[in-house]
């Protein structure tokens, strides 16, 4: 087994803790799944049962995403394992910037999702188990603006997540520095 440059310079653990890893991959699955649901229903006629089902699933998984995101932020700031930056200089700055922007956009997307649903004035249920109360009144006229912004932020998150994933693959296959292995469970 060879030692990566990252491991050679850092004597501590070479992997994130299990909770950090689980929250990372759960976030990735939910982001891609929520995006896919929205894109699929956009091809279906309005008012059809399948479209309504996909929208209901999007809302429920969006609420689950909100809980996972909040847990992830709390875990990251309190209990998650800290590892040294994987890169320095311009590459380190880009990595930090993309991560920060992803977190900011995910938080904004959650807020926009709530605002959009409240602007629609329709029920806001979590897998039919409970309804989310309307905390603020949003003018229905604002729903198109909020919906468009929600869509734009979704595409931006997907584009940045793709850049993030491609960078991880470059680190793994071209740089051989162990960055991707940090987010995979150790054996």
Give the pLDDT confidence score for residue 3 in this predicted structure. Answer: 46
Residue 2: pLDDT band (50, 70, 90) is very low
Residue 37: pLDDT band (50, 70, 90) is very high
Q: Name which of 116, 106, 112 is nearest 158 in CA terms.
A: 106
Distance CA 53, CA 43 (A): 14
Q: Which residue has the higher pLDDT, 176 or 64?
A: 64
Give the pLDDT confidence score for residue 13 in this predicted structure. Answer: 56
Give the pLDDT confidence score for residue 8 in this predicted structure. Answer: 47
The 3-class secondary structure across 23-54, one letter per residue, is: HHHHHHHHHHHHHHHHHHHCCCCCCCHHHHHH
Tokens (6 digits) for 1 = 């087994």
Q: Which residue has the higher pLDDT, 180 or 78?
A: 78
Place of tokens 């604002």: 142
Domain layout of the chain by residue ranges: 13-182
Of all residues in the chain, the percent with pLDDT exceeding 90 is 57
Average pLDDT over residues 133-157: 91
Residue 10: pLDDT band (50, 70, 90) is very low
Please give the CATH architecture assigned to the domain spanning 13-182: Up-down Bundle (1.20)
Give the pLDDT confidence score for residue 4 in this predicted structure. Answer: 47
CB 24, CB 99: distance < 8 Å? no
Instruction: Please state the separation of Cα 100 from the chain's center in Å.
Output: 12
Q: Is the pLDDT of residue 48 over 80?
A: yes
Q: Is the pLDDT of residue 126 over 90?
A: yes
Average pLDDT over residues 128-155: 90
pLDDT, tens only, 25-36: 999 999 999 999
Give the pLDDT confidence score for residue 186 in this predicted structure. Answer: 60
CA distances from 107 to 5, 100, 112, 154, 180 (A): 34, 11, 9, 11, 24
Residue 79: pLDDT band (50, 70, 90) is confident
Average pLDDT over residues 83-96: 80
Average pLDDT over residues 118-130: 88
Give the pLDDT confidence score for residue 81 in this predicted structure. Answer: 74
């Amino acid at each position: 087994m060879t030692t990566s440059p990252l491991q050679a310079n850092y004597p501590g653990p070479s992997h994130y803790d299990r909770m950090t890893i689980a929250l990372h991959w759960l976030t990735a699955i939910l982001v891609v799944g929520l995006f896919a649901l929205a894109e699929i229903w956009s091809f279906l006629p309005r008012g059809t049962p399948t479209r309504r089902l996909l929208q209901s699933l999007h809302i429920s998984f969006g609420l689950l995403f909100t809980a996972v995101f909040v847990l992830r932020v709390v875990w990251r700031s309190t209990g998650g394992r800290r590892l040294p930056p994987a890169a320095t200089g311009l590459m380190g700055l880009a990595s930090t910037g993309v991560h920060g922007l992803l977190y900011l956009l995910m938080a904004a997307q959650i807020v926009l999702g709530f605002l959009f649903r409240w602007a629609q004035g329709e029920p806001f249920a979590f897998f039919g188990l409970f309804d989310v109360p309307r905390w603020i009144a949003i003018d229905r006229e604002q729903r198109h603006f909020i919906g468009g912004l929600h869509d734009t932020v979704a595409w931006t998150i997907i584009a940045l997540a793709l850049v993030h994933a491609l960078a991880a693959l470059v680190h793994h296959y071209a740089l051989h520095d162990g960055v991707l292995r940090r987010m995979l469970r150790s054996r």
